[in-house]
Structure formats: C-alpha cells, structure tokens
Amino acid sequence: MPWPSTTLTGRTIALLVAPYGVEQVELTSPWQAVAESGGTPRLLSTAAGRVQAVRHRALGDTFAVDALVAEADPADYDALVLPGGVANPDRLRLDRAAVAFVHGCCASGRPVAAICHAPWTLIEADAVRGRTLTSWPSLRTDLVNAGAHWVDEEVHVCHDGPGVLVTSRKPGDLPVFNDALVTEFAHATAKRYPT
C-alpha cells in the first residue's frame, strides 16, 4: 500500500547486500516500500550477477545486482538501506568497498536505514558513535562498545549526527521500519532538494 503523505519520486535509493545471506524479507519489503512511494530502488553488492537471499536458515530467491558497490558513488544515491540477515552484514563489513560506501553515505548526511544485524556494517564504517539505535538484541554489546546508545524498540529514528538513521530489530518490525524509512527519507531528501 502506498504512503500517501510521503513521496520518494525522483529519488534513487541504494540497498546494499552481500552476494549471499541477506534475509529475503528484509530486502524485498523495504524495496517494495521505496518503489510504492515513487522511489527507484537499486541493488548494490560486492559481486556482479545475482545475490542469494535466505529465509532464516533456508535458501530463498536470487536477485539481480544493479551495480557493484566498488564502482558506486554515494553522491549518485539519495539514501541507503542496509537489510539484515546474519551472514549478509558479516560479509559486508569485511569488504573495503562496501564499508567505504556506507561510510561515505553516513558522513555526507544521507539518510540510512538498517535492520536486524545490519548495524554490524555501520559499526565497521564508524557510523554509530554518539548515535542511538536499535538492532537484533545480540548486537547490543557490539554497538555499545562502538560508542552507540542501544535501545530495545520496534523502530528508532536518530537525528543526532550528520544524517538521519532509522533502525529496527527484526522482520516483525518491518511495517513500522518501512513507514519510518519512507517518511524520513522523503523528509531528508526534500530538505536537500527543495521543490
């Protein structure tokens, strides 16, 4: 269902995932939310071809990669979504180009949304220090040790920093996560690109 009070028309939103291990619903649900609000979602990864999603521990579908993150410029995107899954962010945080892209998006003030285990990549990109966010509960210590303030909420929107940061804990939080990311992305990009 479209988000009538917000629009991402004319905005290009990057969704960054590793070649294997993204939690499928945490990719497809935000993708659909962006598309239904008028935005253009683009799938970035560390390898060309297709990425293999998972449905918890079972294999899910595969999805075509639109661009390599090593060749991507944060300036070409209006916002960034980091889907979760345990293996996905664990692989991304070991990839220099992925970490550099995330750091570039965060440092430039672009809005970023991350769900479940995705904040691991934010930690590696040094993008959580002084920020308040939520995540899958097992990341709490990692986030606190990286200088973040962790909260246990369905969705948390943090405006303390160079850009808005939207975070959620798990797939069950996707309805409020999607609503918050579309609203915050629309508001943040409207400030950068006033009509």
Indicate which residues carry an active-site annotation. 116-117
Cβ atoms of 146 and 124 within 8 Å: the answer is: no
- Residue 128 to residues 59, 117, 122, 131, Cα–Cα distance (Å): 31, 14, 6, 5
Sign of CA dihedral 102, 106, 109, 114: positive
- Residue 42 to residues 28, 34, 48, 155, Cα–Cα distance (Å): 12, 10, 13, 23
Q: What's at 81, amino acid-wise?
A: V
* Residues in Cβ contact with 162 at an 8 Å cutoff, skipping those fewer than 6 apart: 106, 107, 108, 109
Coil vs helix vs strand at 47: coil
